[in-house]
Chain A
């Protein structure tokens, strides 16, 4: 790769690029001192947390910054020609012709009222002046290149008629139709499920070789970078702090920020102890609060000295192709790093719980959503009723003080399961008991004593708090409602709860919009724990947060759980986070639990084939880790009409292990096979056969 870089001119070269936005408070420099280059057939990853300017860089390259953004300095060269100062007309031509972009949400990039075929051919007929018929042929061939099943048929469809992964493939195909020299991808897989993401990432990897394209890949996910990129630039607070090859950055990160990032990402595969997360203290400064004439990371750095606060370090080359913006890169040895006191809570071994009476017990629980069929009869209420089987035959139990992780892709029913337990949905059949009480009734019919023992932490930090009330009021509400403390002590109790989530008393009077995402999530946790519940359901509590904040919130949750002895159900799509957090894990697919057991057993053979596929799709932030290559094809079937027999049989990659290609999977519901007392797998394949499989992830 270094050889190539000396071979010919790079496709894209940025030198000290600076971009600022005009706001009501004056011009704000969102990005400065960004330098990197991308060669032919190379993927350059730009990683960083939200608000660090990654997307601004991407849009800056094509000067697509909107009316209030402008490039204020440096140079951006595309194939040796300067882009800054070109007219919008020239740039517009360039954007359509030689530079393509792929965005996060494919539905925003595709026109919902035009067929996919027309949208694709338009690219060729407008930009290249190719005849319609020829353009159509080319488009079909391009869809084949992005592994679209049945391309001729897809050409006739509208965007909403294909799945999210397929939509993103269409967008990528569209971007490639003009054979661009540079492809800019802004979080192209963030909105996709992990198994779909894996397929799209494979595709991106292949394209680089097939098309000889230079790719700028922007993402927040260190695992994705490790999978698709050759070189990486790490951005922090609008500056590039480290640039190097993927191997160098992951093996021997030179900037303290990069080192910190690596420590707060959950790694899959290793043991539970090694997956302790170390958050970076403090938070990313807002653009107007960035220190001037000093290292921007100094306030959060464990190694900072007076020099760091008084002088600005420059990006300097430490070894060929690897540079960092730090004065002390040579002297810092990350292996001797010890977490500062109090950064990570003490994790006492969570003994107890085993053999105790489970706190919650579900048996054959079914939650269906009713849907009218589309016949005329249904207009008058006589039509046949159809059911979306969101949760079907779910049985599980959790011992007190333990955490059950529930994983699965979107639409697998994990959120419905949570809603059913909490009482926002009423199950159709089955038993559900909590502390011996029946909880198959909606929350409005439950006793207040029961309600206060069952609380929830929500996913979206921006909507978990009511924007109209201050923090103190919102934490105080459950205290008042459940009479946790006498009303004259509510304020003291709120302050105590805020302390428990590491916020000081001054937060009482703040409104949610004055809080960062991580702080809002902490307040949400304080609110959930206010009534001292026995069971807390966490619905993806960290999936919308940045990695460094995510680590802090996860540690906090575990700490509070230990202090209160609370039982938790942790719903997530991220298998690495669940591994770190849970004692037990349940894997869900299409409303069914297909495997459940202690966390260690889930992440080691024997695997249920779906678990195996999920694990092999997770992007691992370690370029040296070996991971099995199993890809699921097709899409998740509709829960309105789930497949017969085993719900997973339509996509199962392991059916051939059974005689006559797994005919039995289509006919019979698979039995529960018990690997141990607590670990059970729902599959027709005999346990002996499943035990023979290799572990999915082996890290060196």
Chain B
């Protein structure tokens, strides 16, 4: 039919899903900081997954003949006050953060404690944010005031209150991370929702008489995903910090599990006596992983907003 727009010859073929994915990845590689961040993250994920293959020791194996040793050929990063290999403890510690969530002694879930914490926070925070932003009115008022009240507590204090109440375990750390992260996520999602709900496609759904839940989760949420993903990256960084903090205060995973925070706390006493290794390496580990996540998130948000 003449007089229509599709009579123009199509110069480019329809890009397939795979091609689009590749396009997204190639955009990512244009940002140097995103690539650096990604490499750091991938390094930690790699060593965490293959931990048993990368060391001859186990994380709890003690060697009383080699306490507080400096890095050597036998112990690449040295040993701690009980003669445990720090490298081994580091990479096993990374497992808990990034790869597995030990629920009980025998049962564990894939993905790490930090990731589960953020995911749970996302689930609750997004729902609350969507409700506040889309439904508005008294729902918004009640939800947001409650979250404001939570935000009024200093973060560390909040962590301590929660862990003190429910006890120290990996699942409770997940819970604490989720609870502390929820208000921030809810605020972000709410502000995105307030913008997106004015779009015509949301009105079109309302005109069709769709339910509020359909509109919130099917029409609005997918279009808020960009900023939410970037925010989630940063939050994984915060969660790792939080785990370090809790471990340092003795509220993290119960000893003798290889927890980065508690490793710093333990090693701290020996810094001035000439063996800083036990405190230094876990600090570097926490720092590098958080910086890596931040770089990745920054690069991601920068590249995704540059070409719109």
Partner-B contacts on A (CB < 8 A): 24, 279, 281-283, 285, 289, 299, 340-344, 422-424, 443-444, 446, 448, 451, 454-456, 458-460, 463-469, 474, 477-478, 481-482, 502-504, 506-507, 509-510, 516, 518-519, 524, 527-528, 549, 552, 555
Contact = CB atoms under 8 A, between A and B. Distances in A.
A74 B162 CA distance: 71
Interface string B206-248: 1111100000000100110100000000000000000000000
Given A343-B2, A506-B14, A509-B14, A463 B206 contact: no
Interface string B1-37: 1111111110100100000000000000000000000
B3 A552 contact: yes
B200 interface: yes
29 contacts: A283-B5, A283-B8, A299-B9, A340-B2, A342-B1, A343-B2, A422-B207, A423-B207, A424-B206, A444-B209, A446-B209, A451-B208, A451-B209, A456-B204, A458-B203, A459-B200, A460-B200, A464-B204, A465-B201, A477-B208, A478-B208, A481-B209, A481-B210, A507-B6, A510-B14, A519-B5, A527-B204, A549-B5, A552-B5
B199 interface: yes
B64 interface: no
A478 B6 CA distance: 25
A516 B5 contact: yes
A282 B207 contact: no
Contacts of A342: 1-3
Nearest to A530: B208
Contact of B11 (A289, A451, A503, A506): A289
Contact of B204 (A458, A507, A552): A458
A31 to B, nearest CB: 21
Given A444-B209, A552-B3, 7 more contacts: A282-B7, A283-B5, A424-B203, A451-B208, A481-B209, A516-B5, A549-B5
A446 B223 CA distance: 28
B4 A281 contact: yes
A458 B199 CA distance: 10
B208 A481 contact: yes
Contacts of B107: none
Contacts of A527: 204
Given A424-B203, A466-B201, A506-B14, A281 B210 contact: no
Contact of B203 (A285, A456, A468): A456
Contacts of A343: 2-3
A652 B302 CA distance: 53
Interface of B: 1-9, 11, 14, 199-201, 203-204, 206-210, 219, 222-223, 225, 307
A342 B7 CA distance: 13
B2 A281 contact: yes
Contacts of B11: 289
A464 B201 contact: yes
B203 to A, nearest CB: 7
Nearest to A286: B11
B201 A502 contact: no
Contacts of B203: 424, 456, 458
Contacts of B2: 281, 340-343
Given A424-B203, A466-B219, A467-B223, A502 B6 contact: yes
Nearest to B307: A24
Contacts of A474: 201
Contacts of A555: 3
A343 B6 CA distance: 13
B3 A281 contact: yes
Given A463-B201, A466-B223, A281 B7 contact: yes
Max chain A C-beta neighbours (<10 A), residue from B14, B207, B225: B207
A443 B199 CA distance: 18
Contacts of B14: 506, 509-510
Contacts of A503: 4-6
B299 to A, nearest CB: 16
B3 A424 contact: no
Contacts of A469: 222
A54 to B, nearest CB: 21
10 shortest interchain CB distances as A-B pairs? A458-B200, A468-B222, A343-B3, A502-B4, A463-B199, A451-B209, A466-B201, A463-B200, A464-B200, A281-B3
A77 B200 CA distance: 46
Contacts of A285: 8
Contacts of A424: 203, 206-207
Nearest to A285: B8
Contact of B207 (A24, A443, A448, A549): A443
A423 B203 CA distance: 11
B120 to A, nearest CB: 24
Given A282-B8, A466-B223, A477-B208, A502 B1 contact: yes
Nearest to A516: B5
Contacts of B8: 282-283, 285, 299
Given A458-B200, A459-B200, A448 B209 contact: yes
B58 to A, nearest CB: 47
Nearest to B222: A468
A443 B209 contact: yes
A474 B206 CA distance: 14
A503 to B, nearest CB: 6
A516 B204 CA distance: 20
Contact of A504 (B6, B200, B201, B206): B6
A453 to B, nearest CB: 12
Contacts of A422: 207
Contacts of B206: 424, 443
A344 B3 contact: yes
Contacts of A344: 3
A143 to B, nearest CB: 35
A353 B296 CA distance: 64
Nearest to A344: B3
A202 B191 CA distance: 43
A341 B55 CA distance: 78
Nearest to A510: B14
Contacts of A464: 200-201, 204
A481 to B, nearest CB: 6
Nearest to A279: B3
A612 B6 CA distance: 41
Contacts of A507: 6
Nearest to B221: A468
A454 B209 CA distance: 11
Nearest to A423: B207
Contacts of A299: 8-9
A344 B1 CA distance: 11
Max chain B C-beta neighbours (<10 A), residue from A282, A467, A516: A282
Nearest to B224: A468
A468 B223 contact: yes
Max chain A C-beta neighbours (<10 A), residue from B7, B8, B9: B8
